[in-house]
Amino acid sequence: MIERPVIEQIFGNKALNLGGPNPITADIPMGGGEGWLGLLLEFIYTIVIGTGTTAISEGELGIIRNITFKTDVDGESHILTGRAAYRYNHFIEILPSNKDAIAAASADYRVTVPILFADMMSGNPYETILDTGRYKSCELNPSMGSIADLLGTPGTATVTAKLNCSVIKTKERLLDWQKPVAYPYIKSLGQTDYTGLLRNLERSPDLRMRRLFWMLTTASTAGVPFSGTPADDSIKNVSIEHQAGYEYKKVIRQQLADEFAKHFGVTRPAGWYGFDFMKDGDLSNAFLTDPDFVSKLQLTWETDSGTAAMVNTLLDGVRALKPIREV
């Protein structure tokens, strides 16, 4: 067991540049040896509405084009759009974080997007805790969009953005028996037109896939994963297929929806579906994607007579910890 964690602010009111990346390194301490369960990122948007109109649904998430977190030893652990990161936390921790819906009005709007290291659906949630003693540096990099992600008709409206960052962590250094056995790897895989009928999934000798989520959206922005309006009726059934056969074969949409709600214990948001390869919470049952054993790994589907949509895919996996090279 690990002692009850504490929450501590790392930095506050950091101004974010819109229209691009915001790499943050110096403000995030590493090397202390505490275990980090996750980061809480609170984005604050200040809108001056001017002549702007037509608030975009979930624009408060859509403006967060991408969030990456990486360490100097083990590399990237999170490569996620804001919408994907927010929903991933919702599914794993059951309750969604705070989110102020954007309106066509001058005000401050806040949304909290957690970045999780510990896996609260695992039999041992701390198998992937972040051991800060392994690292000398890390980088958090939120890449932001613009006022056009918040308002359909921006007019003369303007927006500025700030970021507060807190960490959920242990009070003391991790003991040897408390240290992680794997490194989280949670990634937005991009979007595929639903008529493409398949999505090739990432494979690597050290990558195990815990879960796979996807979201169907219409009116998406080309090249911007998880953008658009959620749509439920574009796909008839879904399979996960590899060279030896199927993990899931032609599971119909309604069964997927029912199983999703029961397993994750949430009211399923429109457009979202998912598979869990480790329903018993045992990390050893996560799907090994080693190309030496898995020559192909695909999410496939059959289309329905519903609205044309994009299929946006989110991979939830773990990778092997890399050896630390002493200098």
- For CATH 2.60.120.730, list the domain ranges present in the chain: 183-319
CA 160/CA 48 separation, integer angstroms: 9
- For CATH 2.70.9.30, list the domain ranges present in the chain: 6-178
Report CA Rg, the chain: 20
Higher pLDDT, 228 or 45: 45
- pLDDT at 326 (0 to 100): 59
Q: What is the DSSP-derived secondary structure letter of residue 89?
A: H
C-beta of residue 108 within 8 angstroms of C-beta of residue 43: no
What residues are paired with 318 via a beta bridge?
A: 184, 208
Tell the burial category of 127 from Cβ atoms under 10 Å away from its Cβ (0-12, 13-18, 19+).
middle
List C-alpha distances in Å: 149 to 19, 90, 159, 300.
Answer: 10, 22, 11, 30
- pLDDT band (50, 70, 90) for residue 156: very high
The lowest-confidence range among 69-78, 115-124, 140-149, 254-263 is 254-263
- pLDDT band (50, 70, 90) for residue 205: very high
Q: Is the pLDDT of residue 116 over 90?
A: yes
H, E, C per residue of 145-196: CCHHHCEEECCCCEEEEEEEEEEEEEEEECCHHHCCCCEEEEEEEEEEEHHH
Q: What is the torsional sign of CA 303, 306, 307, 312?
A: negative
DSSP reduced 3-state for 6: strand
Mean pLDDT of 95-116: 95
- pLDDT band (50, 70, 90) for residue 139: very high
Contacts of 222 (CB under 8 A, 6+ apart): none
Q: What is the DSSP-derived secondary structure letter of residue 198?
A: E
Mean pLDDT of 117-129: 93
pTM of the full predicted structure?
Answer: 0.93
- pLDDT at 308 (0 to 100): 75
Q: Which token pair is 103?
A: 């309106």
- pLDDT at 4 (0 to 100): 79
CA 167/CA 233 separation, integer angstroms: 39
Q: Which token pair is 57?
A: 């649904």
Instruction: Give the Cβ contact number of residue 233 at 10 Å.
Output: 13
- pLDDT band (50, 70, 90) for residue 106: very high
CA 310/CA 221 separation, integer angstroms: 10
Architecture in CATH of 6-178:
Distorted Sandwich (2.70)
Higher pLDDT, 135 or 305: 135
- CA 13, distance to chain mean position in Å, is 23
CA 214/CA 230 separation, integer angstroms: 11
Architecture in CATH of 183-319:
Sandwich (2.60)
Mean pLDDT of 42-47: 98
Q: Which token pair is 259?
A: 């199983």
The pLDDT tens digits for 243-298 are 878 888 999 988 988 988 888 888 899 899 998 999 888 998 899 999 988 878 89
Residues shown for the chain: 327
- pLDDT at 90 (0 to 100): 94
- pLDDT at 324 (0 to 100): 76
Share of residues in the chain with pLDDT > 70 (%) = 98
What counts of helices (H) and strands (E) characterise the chain? 3, 20
The pLDDT tens digits for 208-240 are 999 999 999 988 887 889 988 888 878 888 999
Q: Which helix (H) or strand (E) holds 313?
A: strand 310-319
- pLDDT at 76 (0 to 100): 96
- pLDDT at 1 (0 to 100): 62
Q: Is the pLDDT of residue 320 over 80?
A: yes
Among residues 257, 281, 280, 283, the alpha carbon closest in space to that of 270 is found at 257
Q: Is the pLDDT of residue 50 over 60?
A: yes
- pLDDT at 215 (0 to 100): 92
Among residues 190, 146, 114, the alpha carbon closest in space to that of 16 is found at 146
CA 78/CA 67 separation, integer angstroms: 7
